């Protein structure tokens, strides 16, 4: 008999975030997370492959959102516009959970293993965006470079967003970064 | 008594590259590398902390070269010009060892662990370039974004360089990427 567990995934995430924040990622076990959430380890492993995935389970959905936005942008949209619009769309999603994002970033900054995972995620995003641009008929080297530049914009905007003392809008920071990129690139 | 070992580091690198290529990085041991080089494991560990470092020991020198070039660029040099010149300088260095770079890239592409290490190296380079720009008085968000964009240029240029069937000049590919960046950024 399977017990009904309302939002067990959400409870596991919440418990993990508290424990990672209190005692560090490295020193927290799946057993502790499950216990704190009032669930079994078996339930934990129905939702996540390991304790690291608690912090990265949204990555696939983010990538799909970005890729779909790029692929479905109007034909007249330029490559950099297409990726920037995708990032703005993602910014709106993140905007609803700034507190979670700030805490997540703090946990990631405290663990070399998590930083590696974050870098791999960003590298896959760059490759996926470049592929999405190729689907729009964008050729090399524009597709690959625009994918990497999009991640440069996202990484710096996101960092400003989670470290700013004032409330700010991630989508706006992405647009500001694109303006900045234009100034940087033209200054030669 | 210490035996004189002419270029033991070079012999270890060569032996490692052959073994990584023949039997894969994961399946190669430090004992095998040392034996193939005609040296002891103790000698190996005088040069490298582990078998991964054989492929990354040049990273620190590369970072210093890039940072010094940015810090010492003439005052009138713009941020993107400073980092691009640094990358062109690095390109000239890599140019002398294309065969090694091609083989190294093939080995790295075959191992998730090595890919992670490569991404970490690139992320540190971006941060070091941003710091070098700050030393020149460049403010945020320009410094951070230019550092990341420099790595976007380097990554895509380097990939084109090691995969091109025709001999090409890495410095020229970096300059082409900068031109491309200008076109991409202006297309809005």
**HEC readout, chain B:** CCCCCCCHHHHHHHHHHHHHHHHCCCCCCHHHHHHHHCCCHHHHHHHCCCCCHHHCCCHHHHHHHHHHHHHCCCCCCCHHHHHHHHHHHHHHHHHCCHHHHHHHHHHHHCCHHHHHHHHHHHHHHHHHHHHHHHHCCCCCCHHHHHHHHHHHHHHHHHHHHHHCCCCCCHHHHHHHHHHHHHHHHHCC
Mean pLDDT within A138-161: 95
Please tell me the distance from the alpha carbon of residue B160 to that of residue B105, in angstroms, as a whole number. 12
Using CB atoms within 10 A of its CB, is residue B42 exposed (0-12), middle (13-18) or buried (19+)? Answer: exposed
Mean pLDDT within B72-94: 93
Q: What is the pLDDT of residue A95?
A: 81
Instruction: Look at residue B5 and tell me whether its pLDDT is greater than 70.
Output: no
Shortest CA distance from A185: residue in chain B: B182
Domain positions in chain B: 8-53, 58-186
Q: What is the pLDDT of residue B1?
A: 46
- Report yes or no: A174 and A87 within 8 Å, Cβ to Cβ: yes
Using CB atoms within 10 A of its CB, is residue B6 exposed (0-12), middle (13-18) or buried (19+)? Answer: exposed
- Report yes or no: A25 and A107 within 8 Å, Cβ to Cβ: yes
B98-142 per-position pLDDT tens digit: 889 999 999 999 998 899 999 999 999 999 999 999 999 999 999
Model ipTM? 0.89
Q: Judged by CB atoms within 8 Å, which residues 24-53 of B form the interface with A?
A: none
B19-73 per-position pLDDT tens digit: 999 999 999 999 999 999 999 999 999 999 999 999 998 888 899 999 999 999 9
Instruction: Look at residue A128 and tell me whether its pLDDT is greater than 90.
Output: yes
* Residue A31 CB neighbour total at 10 angstroms: 11
Instruction: Look at residue B91 and tell me whether its pLDDT is greater than 70.
Output: yes
Cβ of B78 within 8 Å of Cβ of A188? The answer is yes
Q: What is the pLDDT of residue B164?
A: 87
> Which residues make Cβ contacts (< 8 Å) with residue A40, sequence separation at least 6?
A34
Mean pLDDT within A94-108: 89
Q: Judged by CB atoms within 8 Å, which residues 116-135 of B form the interface with A?
A: 116, 119-120, 123
Superfamily of segment(s) B8-53: Homeodomain-like (1.10.10.60)
Nearest CB among B81, B119, B152 relative to A145 is that of: B152
Instruction: Look at residue A41 and tell me whether its pLDDT is greater than 80.
Output: yes
Q: What is the pLDDT of residue A1?
A: 46
Residues of A in contact with B136 (CB under 8 A): none
pLDDT band at A5 (very low <50, low <70, confident <90, very high): low
Cβ of B141 within 8 Å of Cβ of A156? The answer is yes
> Quick one: tokens of B34?
């040392």
Q: What is the pLDDT of residue B142?
A: 95
Judge whether A138 is closer than 8 Å to chain B, CB to CB.
Answer: no
Q: What is the pLDDT of residue B3?
A: 57
- Report yes or no: A126 and A148 within 8 Å, Cβ to Cβ: yes
What is the least distance, in Å, from the CA of B185 to any CA of chain A?
Answer: 5
Burial state string for A76-110 with b = 16 or more CB within 10 A and e = fewer than 16: ebbbbbbbbbbbbebbeebbeebeebebbbebbee
Whose CA is closest to B125, among B56, B43, B55? B56
Residues of B in contact with A181 (CB under 8 A): 145, 149, 185
Cβ of A182 within 8 Å of Cβ of B186? The answer is yes
B134-168 per-position pLDDT tens digit: 999 999 999 999 999 999 999 999 999 999 888 78
pLDDT band at A168 (very low <50, low <70, confident <90, very high): confident
A9-26 per-position pLDDT tens digit: 999 999 999 999 999 999
Cβ of B188 within 8 Å of Cβ of A78? The answer is yes
CATH number for the domain formed by residue range(s) A8-51 = 1.10.10.60
- For residue A86, whether the previous peptide bond is cis, meaning omega lies within 30 degrees of 0, is no
Residues of A in contact with B123 (CB under 8 A): 115, 119
CATH number for the domain formed by residue range(s) B58-186 = 1.10.357.10
Q: What is the pLDDT of residue B160?
A: 93
Please tell me the distance from the alpha carbon of residue A148 to that of residue A144, in angstroms, as a whole number. 6
- ∠ CA A126-A131-A133, rounded to 5°: 95
pLDDT band at A188 (very low <50, low <70, confident <90, very high): confident
Please tell me the distance from the alpha carbon of residue A118 to that of residue B120, in angstroms, as a whole number. 10
Instruction: Look at residue A28 and tell me whether its pLDDT is greater than 90.
Output: yes
> Model's pTM, two decimal places?
0.90
Average pLDDT, chain A: 92
Whose CA is closest to A153, among B130, B87, B136, B141? B141
Please tell me the distance from the alpha carbon of residue A118 to that of residue A53, in angstroms, as a whole number. 11
Mean pLDDT within A133-145: 96
Cβ of B187 within 8 Å of Cβ of A159? The answer is no
pLDDT band at B4 (very low <50, low <70, confident <90, very high): low
Please tell me the distance from the alpha carbon of residue B5 to that of residue B120, in angstroms, as a whole number. 33
């Amino acid at each position: 008999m399977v017990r009904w567990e309302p939002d067990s995934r959400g409870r596991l995430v919440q418990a993990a975030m508290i424990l990672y924040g209190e005692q560090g990622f490295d020193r927290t076990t799946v057993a502790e997370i499950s216990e704190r959430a009032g669930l079994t380890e078996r339930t934990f492993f129905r939702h996540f492959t390991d304790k690291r995935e608690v912090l990265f389970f949204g990555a696939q959905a983010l990538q799909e959102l970005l890729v779909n936005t790029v692929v479905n942008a109007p034909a007249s949209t330029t490559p950099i516009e297409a990726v920037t619009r995708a990032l703005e769309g993602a910014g709106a999603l993140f905007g609803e959970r700034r507190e979670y994002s700030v805490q997540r970033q703090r946990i990631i900054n405290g663990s070399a293993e998590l930083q590696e995972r974050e870098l791999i995620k960003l590298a896959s995003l760059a490759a996926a965006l470049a592929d999405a641009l190729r689907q729009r008929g964008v050729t090399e080297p524009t597709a690959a470079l625009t994918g990497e530049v999009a991640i440069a914009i996202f990484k710096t905007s996101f960092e400003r967003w989670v470290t700013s003392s004032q409330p700010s809008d991630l989508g706006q920071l992405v647009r500001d970064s694109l303006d900045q990129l234009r100034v940087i690139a033209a200054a030669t």
